[in-house]
Structure 1
Amino acid sequence: MTRSSTSLLSPNPSLSLSAAQVALTACLSHASDLGIPVNISIYSSSLHLLAFARMDTAKLTSIDIAHNKAFTAAGHRAPTDTYTKERVGEGGPLFGVGNSNAGRFTMISGGVPVEVDGVCVGAIGVSGGLPSEDKEIALKGVEAILAAFKKQGRTAVKAKL
């Protein structure tokens, strides 16, 4: 009997709860500094919710939007704002993608993937402010994860912008 060279396990690294909590703390702090009440979702690379926070007075209707931003960024391994109307609208190369995943796909800025060694390990989605503010807050979470990895000696951690 010969062994297959194909692995039976997926090499699918993901953010841990600890990393998600580091990001969540940084996002909450920055949103507070800006005076913007937001909802923050952090998803694993396999599209599971790792952490969520809703700041006092954050819009209730933004909860699902934050989840969808993190879901889209992790699932597509790209920031949500890379999907412009020109790309996803009628005649665009990605026309129809906006209707995928039971309507969870979003192109609203504020969803940012986290990469380690060139592999997407999860994503952060923020909603409640202007789209540019949401992205700024999400990036603070990515920066916090990056700093935590650097403390452990990892240097190839980045946000895909």
Structure 2
Amino acid sequence: MATKSQPQLTLQGAHIALAAAQSHAKIIGVPMNIAIVDASTNLIAFERMDGAKITSISIAMDKAFTAAGHRVGTHTYKDAVWPGGPAYGIGNSNGGRFTTFGGGLPVKDAEGRVVGGIGASTGTPAQDQEVVQAGVDALEKVLRGEGKEGKSKL
């Protein structure tokens, strides 16, 4: 076969994840920069909440880029990137965009295929991680058919 079809995260799906992530950021009281990318790591949606750090804009985008492109959460590298670690120096790859601290998660479809990524930044890595997890959870709920939006257009 010379071609292959790949499911794509839609703008509607990105907005579902973005809304849930923003809602959680408000609950914890930390305004965030939140980025959603597709499986090819291209930006679909971005929101900078009032009060989010300007310097965290590109960090949120890079977390989403890393999560989608490498297909795992950015937090998984925490213990591997120190000098002597198996992934030491990986943060210098991809033009310095590869992010190795919490706050980026891949977005997967119902079959477990990565269709995008979500990244958040302004809080601590743990707070950023909570925010992106809320976005992923909301989208997965819709993909299971439990949300009001339904899964047909995601």
Report whether the alignment pairs 1:21 with 2:15: yes
Deviation digits for residues 56-108 of structure 1 (CA, Å, limit 9, x no counterpart): 11100000000010000001000001012x42233322233211000000112
Distance in structure 1 (CA, Å) of the matches to 2:114 and 2:75: 17
State the partner residue of 1:157. Answer: none
Q: Could you tell me the TM-score, scaled by structure 2's length? A: 0.89
Q: Which one of 127, 141, 151 corresponds to residue 147 of structure 1?
A: 141
Deviation at 1:153, TM superposition (A): 6.7
Report whether the alignment pairs 1:97 with 2:90: yes
State the partner residue of 1:56. Answer: 50
State the structure with more CA Rg: 1
Unaligned runs of 5+ in 2: none
Distance in structure 2 (CA, Å) of the matches to 1:81 and 1:32: 22
Alignment CA distance shift 1:42-1:153 (3 Å): closer
How many residues align structurally? 147
Q: Could you tell me the TM-score, scaled by structure 1's length? A: 0.85
Unaligned runs of 5+ in 1: 1-5, 155-161
SS of the aligned residue for 1:53 comes to: strand
% identity of equivalent residues: 48
Report whether the alignment pairs 1:127 with 2:116: no
Distance in structure 2 (CA, Å) of the matches to 1:94 and 1:20: 30
CA RMSD of aligned residues (A): 1.5
